[in-house]
Amino acid sequence: MADKPDQEAAPEDTQPSAEAPAEGGADGEAPADPHASADVQPPAEPDAPPPAEADASETPDADTEPPEAEAEAPEAQPEPPEAQAEPPVAQAGTPEHGETGEAEAPPPPPQAPVEEGSPKERRRLARSRHTGEPRSPRSPEQRQAERLRERREKAARRRTRRLQERAKATRVSEAARAAAGRGEPELAPVHGAAEGKRKIRQGIVVSDKAHKTIVVRIDVARRHRRYEKIVRSSSTLHAHDENNDARQGDIVRVIESRPLSRTKRWRLVEVLERAQ
């Protein structure tokens, strides 16, 4: 406070004289303005630290953070509750929706649908789907031995199946005999011998020149399935006539029989109408 009056009085005592500029101009130096020295701030004291250093001391170093900042760092960026409460990704075989217990095994893959078809088609399809390595080359002797082994296995399977069928037929026949003894109706055998129904045809004799053989024409008239038109056709067959009874133009009935010659598979039953 004592220096303040001296600073205020200094400009009054030192008034610039008219000779000062002349002396300054003679020496070649700029005159010192006493008012300018009062307006301009005095130079910084050497004991005061430079402003850059002061700023550096005021701002803490990034590497050396105070313990308060370290303590506040976790609180400044807390994890959102949604991220913490996010359920884990559901995996196959893990219990969900409150289920408890051990982890279940993954469900088995869906089975391929059973493909229907003949055995030959199934074998062809299985060969087309085969992706394994081919078998090593074999000699003709090895191939023949493999074929013989397969034939023996198939023969054994056939023999087993036939024995089972025979045993089943025996049980059925015994049950039928037992039922007949008790007065019950006898059941027909499963594999009983049955004679097939023979075919019978009716036609007109067109030739009787051969010995014990006649040629019969069979006329057929049927309706077409699509066009609904009556379609007429005929065929001839050779029949055996033991007594040479039929004549040309007769209407006869023949029945199917065993082969009697190279072309005869029929036999004369009766003559229905004589030719006029």
Region of 273 please: left (phi>0), alpha (psi -120 to 50) or beta.
beta
> Which residues are CB-contacts of 18 (< 8 A; sequence separation ≥ 6)?
none
Task: Please write the tens of the pLDDT for every residue from 50-83.
Answer: 554 444 445 444 455 554 545 454 455 555 555 4
pLDDT at residue 266, rounded to an integer: 97
Task: Please write the tens of the pLDDT for every residue from 84-93.
Answer: 545 555 454 4
36 C-beta neighbours (distance < 10 Å), count: 8
Topology, domain 200-273: OB fold (Dihydrolipoamide Acetyltransferase, E2P) (2.40.50)
pTM value is 0.33
The domain segmentation of the chain, as residue ranges, is 142-182, 200-273
> Which residues are CB-contacts of 233 (< 8 A; sequence separation ≥ 6)?
219, 220
Residue 238: phi and psi, rounded to 5, are: -105, 130
Of 14-23, 132-141, 150-159, 210-219, the poorest mean pLDDT is in 14-23
pLDDT at residue 128, rounded to an integer: 85
Residue 89: phi and psi, rounded to 5, are: -65, 130
Q: What is the mean pLDDT of residues 22-34?
A: 48
Q: 186: number of CA atoms within 13 Å, CB side?
A: 9
Task: Please write the tens of the pLDDT for every residue from 7-27.
Answer: 454 444 445 444 444 444 444
